[in-house]
A and B are shown apart, each in its own frame.
Chain A
Amino acid sequence: MDTHILPTRLYVGIFLILLTLTAATVTASFFDLGGRLNSANVLVAMSIACGKALLVVLFFMHVRYSPRLIWVFVGAGFFWLAILIALTMSDYLSRGWLPLPAPWGT
């Protein structure tokens, strides 16, 4: 990893994109985009948040210019988070989809 000095205009550019995305996500929150549990609103808000987080990780945190080992660590961390949320919610959201079996011994 050589010292990769990023130009100021890149940092300011990322900052302006982050502010724009913040304005976009606030604006989107005023509309009922539909879906059970506001799922369309959640999808839009979380997509924007993931985009913002990605910009911060890649440029402010210099991961874009870091060795592959850093990429593996960062990827593993967020992949673990995805597993935690996805598997937990696959349980909670699917409850009641199938009828409960008869209790044991009856």
Chain B
Amino acid sequence: MAEHVAHHFEDAEQQREAATLGMWAFLITEIMFFGGLFAGYTVYRSTYFDAFAEGSRHLDLVLGTVNTAILIGSSLTMALAVQAAQRSRRGPQVVFLLLTILLGLAFLGIKAVEYGHKFEQHLVPGRFFSWPGPHASNVQLFFSFYFAMTGMHALHMIIGIGLLIWLTIQARRGRFTGSYYNPMEVSGLYWHFVDIVWIFLFPLLYLIDRHVH
């Protein structure tokens, strides 16, 4: 039996299935975690619709769209890194992992620029929040959701980049081949999941109330 198969597994295939299933069990808890935020946002958006629309229109559509494209691109490079591992190709694994890290950092950088604008414009909830018009306190609630949801998403990306750095080091050492690449596969699942969260965050926060009546 190959050395990478732990003693409690029948074979490499069973081990890979178990790893994938375990990762999905974890991702389901992540769906539950983000689901609570999405449900809360949906409830308060329907309750304070005008205020949430005002706040939403203030978000930077160009930066949001560019970030969406960057994150989708990082999912592509991640998928290609896993594919390179399946094909036991060491060089492409490292290149695609580094590209994924780079795109992830680009996303976080643009997010930081957006956060910077919000700080300058006094849109961070708390003592210094200021908003003209009658809906100020409910717009503040919108920005609380904005920072909580995008912030938790960004935290997941930071953790993901940490995983990717570790994977790059391991891939460089030639640890992943077609017969064993479980860490690549399950980290890929995590990275794609974080992409999916953004696929829903982007329209909910930036798009659905964008048009002006």
**1/0 contact string of B1-37 vs chain A (CB within 8 Å):** 0000000000001001100110011011001100110
Bound-state CA distance A2–B179 (Å) is 10
A15 touches B72 (CB 8 A): yes
B75 touches A76 (CB 8 A): no
Known A6-B83, A77-B24; judge A60-B207 contact (CB<8 A).
Answer: no
Interface size on B, residues (CB 8 A): 56
Known A11-B79, A15-B72, A41-B209; judge A92-B46 contact (CB<8 A).
Answer: yes
Main secondary structure of the interface of B (DSSP, over half): helix
Give B181 Cβ to nearest chain A Cβ, in Å. 9
B65 touches A38 (CB 8 A): no
A77 touches B195 (CB 8 A): no
Number of A-B contacts (CB under 8 A): 140
Bound-state CA distance A8–B28 (Å) is 28
Binding site for A on B (CB under 8 A): 13, 16-17, 20-21, 24-25, 27-28, 31-32, 35-36, 38-39, 42-43, 45-47, 49, 53, 61, 65, 68-69, 72-73, 75-76, 78-80, 83, 86-87, 178, 185, 188-189, 192-193, 195-196, 199-200, 202-204, 206-211, 213
